[in-house]
Amino acid sequence: MDGGLSGNFMPLFARLLGRDFDLLPAVVRRLHLRPGVARHHGEVEVRRGRGWLSRLCATATRLPPAGQGPITVDIDIQPDTERWTRHVRGHAMPSRLWWQDGLLCERLGWVKFGFRLHVHEAGIEWRVERVHALGLPLPARWFAGVRARESAPGGRYAFDVQASLPGIGLLVHYRGWLHVD
């Protein structure tokens, strides 16, 4: 693992990805290694679905509003959990992440996702394996259109997140970059 880790502290993404974590670009590793609270600023473009079911699902998971502009992401990395709060156009999208059964679990509003992480083409791919809404399990196949990618084109941390559901269509597609010290 990265030589910057101190003592027995092993951040969540480094634990989940194991040796593959070292294959990631330095800026992606830095975002996931800094213990405690860090604030990152950047730019984001957000597209949202227009149907009423799409809007309802987006509200249930506290997805950001459509538009383009600045984003601030606060990340609090603790030994067993991370808290991310994305601030987009006056809207906060908080989530909590933790490790369970080899998956990265993320709670967004009323929904809990279980993602399998893979290092692919110098980035992290997030793929849905489990979903619970209001504590009830839902078929993972319904969420095949939910994906996320972290990468570093040109040496800058970049993200691309898309969520679409069958019969509902696009919930959100947001992508952009963050400045990572």
Instruction: Tell the burial category of 6 from Cβ atoms under 10 Å away from its Cβ (0-12, 13-18, 19+).
Output: exposed
pLDDT the model gives residue 3: 39
Q: Answer whether residue 4 shows pLDDT above 50.
A: no
- Is 1 contained in some domain? no
Kindly report the CATH number assigned to the domain that includes residue 16: 2.40.128
The mean pLDDT of 80-107, rounded to a whole number, is 95
Higher model confidence: residue 32 or residue 4?
A: 32
Percent of the chain at pLDDT > 70 equals 96
Residue 173 has pLDDT above 70, yes or no: yes
Residue 2 within a domain: no
Select from 20, 25, 2 the least CA-distant residue to 157.
Answer: 25
Per-residue pLDDT averaged across 80-101, rounded?
95
Does 106 fall in a domain?
A: yes
Question: What is residue 177's predicted lDDT score, i.e. its pLDDT?
Answer: 98
Residue 27, φ and ψ in degrees, nearest 5: -65, -35
Is 60 exceeded by the pLDDT of residue 6?
no
Q: What secondary structure does DSSP assign to 88-155, as a single string?
A: ETTEEEEEEEEEETTEEEEEETTEEEEEEEEE-SSSEEEEEEEEEETTEEE-GGGGTTEEEEEE-GGG
Is the residue at 123 inside a domain? yes
Alpha carbon distance 78, 93 (integer Å): 19
Answer yes or no: is 160 within a domain. Answer: yes
Compute φ and ψ for 83, nearest 5 degrees: -120, 125
The pLDDT value recorded for residue 76 is: 97
In a domain, 171, yes or no: yes
What does the pLDDT average to over 90-104?
95
**Structural domain count of the chain:** 1
The CA angle 103-47-173, to the nearest 5 degrees, is 20
pLDDT over threshold 60, residue 120 = yes
Per cent of the chain over pLDDT 90 is: 85
Predicted pLDDT at 7: 55
Q: State yes or no: pLDDT of 168 exceeds 50.
A: yes
Instruction: State which residues form the domain around 169.
Output: 12-178
Whether residue 29 is contained in a domain is answered as: yes
pLDDT in tens, 33-53: 989 999 999 999 999 999 999
Residue type, 70: P
Question: Has residue 6 been placed in a domain?
Answer: no
- What is the mean predicted confidence (pLDDT) over 132-139? 94
Band of residue 147 on the pLDDT scale cut at 50, 70, 90: very high
Mean pLDDT of the chain: 93
For 146-171, what is the mean pLDDT? 96
